[in-house]
Amino acid sequence: MPSLTNDSNIVYNKSSSLPRLTMYENLLTGAFARGLVGYITMPITVIKVRYESTLYNYSSLKEAITHIYTKEGLFGFFRGFGATCLRDAPYAGLYVLLYEKSKQLLPMVLPSRFIHYNPEGGFTTYTSTTVNTTSAVLSASLATTVTAPFDTIKTRMQLEPSKFTNSFNTFTSIVKNENVLKLFSGLSMRLARKALSAGIAWGIYEELVKRFM
């Protein structure tokens, strides 16, 4: 059965009501949006990473802000942004691209017992949720794995700014003094968080869009 369309000629997937963009549009819009959000929220990310680390013993948000500004100036709040952007922009671009593609391909490979149609020709809520949630989990898992080294580099730079001064030096230091696998440290936990949150968020979001937009 062909995908549904409306009067404005925007094509929709049977499990989704989101406009279908081209492959390059999905890649670029996802990357640009995530890169911009990453820049705006960078100070929060730096403070969060240091709070979680045993290298710092901040007792309050004010102390953290004062310490970073005194020692590193405003630049300190954006420490590791290059690596963060190299992680987040490709991640978001790849995720959106893979997610949209997965929504098209999954119905072709899922067992027929999972595929049910509503009277309008689209998928039922059960089928849509299955397709969208599975697509989100698979896409987030792959995109997270590909961009994991940049997450490691970003974290090292934010925790030890005097030792790791830029992305390239951090990368070469890890590979030379440790090993390549260290670039994927924490991948299992990041995979669990990213895949689970993406599956839940997009499964719910897609259904809300169909009902209220």
pLDDT value at position 87?
Answer: 81
Give the pLDDT confidence score for residue 24 in this predicted structure.
72
DSSP string of 50-115? HHHSTT----SHHHHHHHHHHHH-GGGGGTTHHHHHHHHHHHHHHHHHHHHHHHHHHHHHS-GGG-
- Residue 12's SS3 state is strand
Q: What is the pTM of this model?
A: 0.69
- For residues 130 and 114, the answer to whether their CB atoms sit within 8 Å is yes
Q: Which residues pair with 49 in a beta bridge?
A: none
Asked if the 20-212 domain carries CATH number 1.50.40.10, the reply is yes
In this predicted structure, what is the pLDDT of residue 162?
84
Position 35 scores a pLDDT of: 82
- Look-up of token digits 């440790």: 178
pLDDT of amino acid 3? 41
Alpha-carbon dihedral 108, 109, 114, 120, rounded to 10 degrees: -10
Tokens encoding 5: 């369309």
Share in percent of the chain as helix, strand, coil (round to 5) = 75, 5, 25
The alpha carbon dihedral of 37, 84, 31, 123 has a sign of negative
* Residue 90: CA count within 13 A, CB half-sphere: 15
Bridge partners, residue 5, by sequence: 11
Q: Tens of pLDDT along the chain (213 residues)?
A: 334 444 433 334 667 766 666 777 777 887 788 788 888 988 998 888 888 877 888 888 888 899 999 988 998 898 888 888 878 888 888 888 899 889 989 988 888 888 888 888 788 888 888 999 999 999 999 999 999 999 899 889 888 888 888 889 999 999 999 989 999 988 998 898 888 889 888 888 888 887 776
